[in-house]
Amino acid sequence: MPAHQPLPTTTTIENLLDLDSLLSAEDRDLRTMVRGFGEQRLRPQIAEWFEAGQVPVRELAAEIGKLGLLGMHLQGYGCSGSTATAYGLVCQELEAVDSGLRSLVSVQGSLAMFAIHRWGSEEQRTRWLPGMAAGELIGCFGLTEPDFGSNPGGMCTTARRDGSDWILNGSKMWITNASVADVAIIWARSKEGVLGFAVPTSTPGFHATEMTRKLSLRASVTSEIHLDDVRVPEDARLPEAQGLKAPLSCLSEARFGIVFGAVGAARDCLQTTLDYVGTRAVFDRPLAGYQLTQAKIADMAVELGKAQLLALHLGRLKDEGRIRPEQVSVGKLNNVREAIKIARQCRTLLGANGITLEYPVLRHANNLESVLTYEGTSEVHQLVIGEALTGVGAFR
């Protein structure tokens, strides 16, 4: 074999640090199953969905529901009751295909279903959760408003009592799946403080319209919600939710999934790039054989391994019931920040091919711009960690 031909190697970006040895056989089997679903069902169509800015949410939710992945970390009501680590690994495999597909599962399970499971009544849990777990009912989570994203405490949406009913008024923006949802978890300000409501989207006065012209997360539905005198009965109010800590607890759940998910997107970029540099010849020999290439590959593999270790560590803390919000912030801040760096670096190695939908890297990089922003921007997570370490809040 000529010296410049790559030698066969059994080292992969996945076994470089032997991190699979930290997983149970059950977790590895689940991962294999979801990876297979992702490669066979999702990957062949993802570029088309992304390009069209359209994704068959209902169809996919029903299929993913059948696999038992929606709200899988919740107990009862048709949910699988899995470990947090197993849920994280599922997020990782879905995001290896596209962050928009992982978003579907995160919003359904960690935001909408978790809100009902944790803060709802028994009647609400029975009414909504089995259908949502099966993917027959779609949920969304309306917290962000046009003028209040990082600071949801400033929300203007109001909930006013009228006899035994509540009247909701206001607007929500950037709400994943709102225009295809059956139930919207709406957070609103009232005399009693911030309250949450499970609002059937068929309620008169509830309007959701899809937001278009996105350059990121195009394989995900994002909508605006307008609430015009939406009347709901008292039993639509999540009885245990009082104050901002309720929506923030849901965000913490979704952030946890992102800690794992971002590693999936980065892994897919790096794997694509490894395959590419092995066959692409520049200046008469494979791109893989240049030191500059190898420095990039090595640095990315190191960051990927560290991100995976961090995700698994946080998974264990969550499974032991002792994870703290600032720890989730460490994971979300680091793993998304490193994933987007990896995606962009991979793009350089693919040259012009890297800017097309033939390869996933720029699609991942663009998606990760949204992932960097939602569920707390990087700056918000820096402020969470900074406050935890110094004892001084610096949000305002």
Q: Which stretch binds ligand FAD (CB under 6 A): 159-167, 173-181, 228-236, 344-352?
A: 173-181
The CB-of-199 to ligand FAD minimum distance in angstroms stands at 14
Q: For residues 369 and 217, what is the distance between their CA atoms, to the nearest angstrom?
A: 9
Which position has the token pair 């295809």? 180
Q: Which of residues 179-238 bind ligand FAD (CB under 6 A)?
A: 217, 222
Among 131, 149, 286, 305, binds ligand FAD (CB under 6 A): 149
159 vs 288, beta carbon nearer ligand FAD: 159
Size of site (CB under 6 A) for ligand FAD: 20
Binding of ligand FAD at residue 166 (CB under 6 A)?
no
Query: Mind telling me the catalytic residues?
Result: 375
Helices (DSSP H) in the chain: which residue ranges? 25-37, 43-52, 57-66, 84-97, 99-105, 114-119, 122-133, 245-279, 291-319, 325-349, 361-373, 378-390
Among 143, 181, 183, 188, binds ligand FAD (CB under 6 A): 143
The CB-of-366 to ligand FAD minimum distance in angstroms stands at 11
Instruction: Report the residue closest to ligand FAD, judged by CB.
Output: 149
124 vs 223, beta carbon nearer ligand FAD: 223
111 vs 129, beta carbon nearer ligand FAD: 111
Residue 377, exposed/middle/buried by CB under 10 A (0-12, 13-18, 19+)? middle
Q: For residues 156 and 263, what is the distance between their CA atoms, to the nearest angstrom?
A: 35
190 vs 377, beta carbon nearer ligand FAD: 377
Binding of ligand FAD at residue 141 (CB under 6 A)?
yes
The CB-of-65 to ligand FAD minimum distance in angstroms stands at 19
Q: For residues 94 and 90, what is the distance between their CA atoms, to the nearest angstrom?
A: 6
The CB-of-106 to ligand FAD minimum distance in angstroms stands at 9
Q: For residues 336 and 263, what is the distance between their CA atoms, to the nearest angstrom?
A: 8
Q: Which stretch binds ligand FAD (CB under 6 A): 2-10, 277-285, 331-339, 372-380?
A: 372-380
Q: For residues 87 and 340, what is the distance between their CA atoms, to the nearest angstrom?
A: 22
86 vs 225, beta carbon nearer ligand FAD: 225
Residue 239, exposed/middle/buried by CB under 10 A (0-12, 13-18, 19+)? middle
Q: Quick one: which of 67, 199, 89, 42 has its CA closest to 133?
A: 67
Radius of gyration of the chain (CA): 22
Q: Which stretch binds ligand FAD (CB under 6 A): 12-20, 199-207, 354-362, 366-374?
A: 366-374
- For 157, the 3-state DSSP assignment is coil
Among 49, 166, 174, 276, binds ligand FAD (CB under 6 A): 174
Binding of ligand FAD at residue 50 (CB under 6 A)?
no
Binding of ligand FAD at residue 374 (CB under 6 A)?
yes
Residue 308, exposed/middle/buried by CB under 10 A (0-12, 13-18, 19+)? buried
The CB-of-201 to ligand FAD minimum distance in angstroms stands at 14
Binding of ligand FAD at residue 114 (CB under 6 A)?
no
Q: Which stretch binds ligand FAD (CB under 6 A): 43-51, 119-127, 168-176, 259-267?
A: 168-176
93 vs 145, beta carbon nearer ligand FAD: 145
Binding of ligand FAD at residue 105 (CB under 6 A)?
no
Report residue 85: phi and psi, to 5°: -65, -40
> Which residues share a beta bridge with 140?
184
Helices (H) and strands (E) in the chain, counts: 12, 11
Binding of ligand FAD at residue 107 (CB under 6 A)?
yes
Q: For residues 314 and 99, what is the distance between their CA atoms, to the nearest angstrom?
A: 20
Q: Which residues bind ligand FAD (CB under 6 A)?
A: 107, 141-144, 149-150, 174-176, 217, 222, 370, 373-374, 377, 379-380, 383, 395
